[in-house]
Structure 1
Amino acid sequence: MTEHTNDKENKRARKDLRIVVSCLAFVGGMVGMSYAAVPLYAMFCQVTGYGGTTQRVDQASETVLDRDIKVHFDANTGSGLAWDFGPERREIKLKIGETVQANYLAVNNTDHELTGQATYNVTPQSAGAYFNKVQCFCFTETTLKPGEKLEMPVVFFVDPDIVNDEDTKDITTITLSYTFYPHEKEKPVAAAAKPVQDNKQL
C-alpha cells in the first residue's frame, strides 16, 4: 500500500515538474521574443519597405529608365535640438534608376556641443521598397560644436522595378523625410581608483 502511494506521489511530482518547466520555457520564450521583436521588425521593414522604410544597397543601379520622377526633401528637428537643419534643394527631378546625390545642412546655433541622430522615411509608404540609398547619414550619431556647420550627403536611386508594381507604377513624386533628435552620448567609464598606499612603517 505504501509503495503504491509513493509511486503515485512520484508520478504526480514528475507531472507537476514537467508543467512547471513547460511554463518557465513558455515565459522565457515570450520574454526572448519581446526583446527580438524590435530588431526583427526593423529587419522586416528594411526588406519590405513597410512603413516607408527605405532600402540600403552597396552599389548604384545598372538600369536607367527614360522616365522622370520627382523627389521632395523634408527636414525636421526634435524638441531639445537647437539646430538649423534642412536640404540644400527642396526638390529634384531624376530618371528612374539614375543615381544622384542630395545634401542636407545642419548648423548648431548654441554655445555648447550638441549630438543628434536622424531617423527617416519616405512617402508614399509603398515607395519605400524601391527607394534605395547607397550612402546615408541616418542612425549615425552626429556631433556639432558651437556654431559648427555640417554638410550631410545622401546618395540614392529609385529602383526601376517601381514601374512593374501595380501599387507604385503611377507614383510621380516621392518625399524623403529626415528628423534629427537629440542624442545623449554615453558617459565614459570612470577611471579605476588607485590602490590606497599603506603608510604604516615597518
Structure 2
Amino acid sequence: MNSDAIRSKNLRTAGLAALLAAAMVGLGFAAVPLYNLFCRVTGFGGTTQRYDPVAAAEQPKVLSDTISVRFDANVSPKLPWKFHPERPTDTVSIGARDMAIFIAENNSPHPVTGTATFNVTPDQAGKYFTKIQCFCFTQQTLQPGEQIRMPVLFFVDPKIKDDVDARDIQEITLSYTFYPVDEGKKAS
C-alpha cells in the first residue's frame, strides 16, 4: 500500500472512532432521561405513576375490591428531622382516591431543606400506584422546631386486576426517604 492509501485508511478509522465516541457521549447524557421514562411507563423498580388530569380521559372506575397500603418513612442520618406517617396502613378501594398524611419535624436549631425519594413495593404494583399530589415533587424547608403535615393523594389503578403478575397483590408499600438538599446545588 502506498502512503496515500494508508493515510486515507487511518483518516477513515479516526473518523469512525470519533463518531463512535460522540455516540457514546450522547448515550451517556440520554441514559438517565431514557431510564426514567422506561421506569415511569413500566413501573420498573416500584416507580409510581404521576397523575396527569389532561391526559386522563376519565376518572378510573372504583372497584369493590380493596387493597392494603402500608406507609414507610425514613430519614437520612444527615438530615436532623423526625419523619413518620400519621397512620402506618390504610385499606383502600381500588380506583378510589385516598389520602395519606406524613409528618416531618426539624429537630435542628436552623432551617433545613430536604427532598424525598420514593418507591413502591412490590415492584409490579408501581405502574398501578398513581400519585395525584405529593410532597416528594418539591423541596421542603422546615424552620427550627417546625412540624408540618404533608398530604399524599393517590389511587390504585383498577387495571391492576387485569395484570396476571399483579392482580393477587394484597398489600402495597409506599416508602419515602428524606435527604438533605445540598445548599450549594439547590434546584430552582
TM superposition score normalised by structure 2: 0.91
User: 1:44-83 alignment to 2 at 5 Å?
Assistant: 44-59=38-53, 61-83=59-81
Give the distance between the partners of 1:28 and 1:138, measured in 2 at CA. 35
Q: Select the residue among 87, 101, 108 that pairs with 1:110.
A: 108
Deviations 1:89-147 (A, max 9, x none): 11111110001111111110110111111000011111001001111121522111111
Unmatched segments (≥5 aa) in structure 1: 189-202
Tell me how far 1:34 sits from its aligned partner. Answer: 1.8
Unmatched segments (≥5 aa) in structure 2: none
Give the distance between the partners of 1:46 and 1:128, measured in 2 at CA. 9
User: 1:156-171 alignment to 2 at 5 Å?
Assistant: 156-171=154-169
- Partner residue in 2 for 1:152: 150
- Partner residue in 2 for 1:20: 14
Give the distance between the partners of 1:12 and 1:186, measured in 2 at CA. 52
Q: Select the residue among 32, 50, 66 that pairs with 1:38.
A: 32
- Partner residue in 1 for 2:92: 94
Deviations 1:143-201 (A, max 9, x none): 1111111221111100000001111111111110000011112379xxxxxxxxxxxxx
Tell me how far 1:62 sits from its aligned partner. Answer: 2.9
Identity %: 51
Amino acid at match of 2:122: P
Amino acid at match of 2:15: V
- Partner residue in 1 for 2:138: 140
SS at match of 1:138: helix
Q: Select the residue among 3, 11, 32 that pairs with 1:9.
A: 3
Q: Report which stretch shifted further, 84-93 or 135-144.
A: 135-144
Give the distance between the partners of 1:139 and 1:153, measured in 2 at CA. 12
The 3 A distance-change label for structure 1 pair 133 and 33 is same
- Partner residue in 1 for 2:183: 185
Amino acid at match of 2:170: T
Q: Report which stretch shifted further, 59-68 or 97-106.
A: 59-68
Give the distance between the partners of 1:184 and 1:139, measured in 2 at CA. 17
Amino acid at match of 1:156: F
Give the distance between the partners of 1:166 and 1:39, measured in 2 at CA. 29
Give the distance between the partners of 1:187 and 1:55, measured in 2 at CA. 27
TM superposition score normalised by structure 1: 0.85
SS at match of 2:148: strand
Give the distance between the partners of 2:24 and 2:184, measured in 1 at CA. 30
SS at match of 1:11: helix
Give the distance between the partners of 1:120 and 1:51, measured in 2 at CA. 11
Amino acid at match of 2:110: H
Instruction: Give the CA RMSD over aligned residues.
Output: 1.7
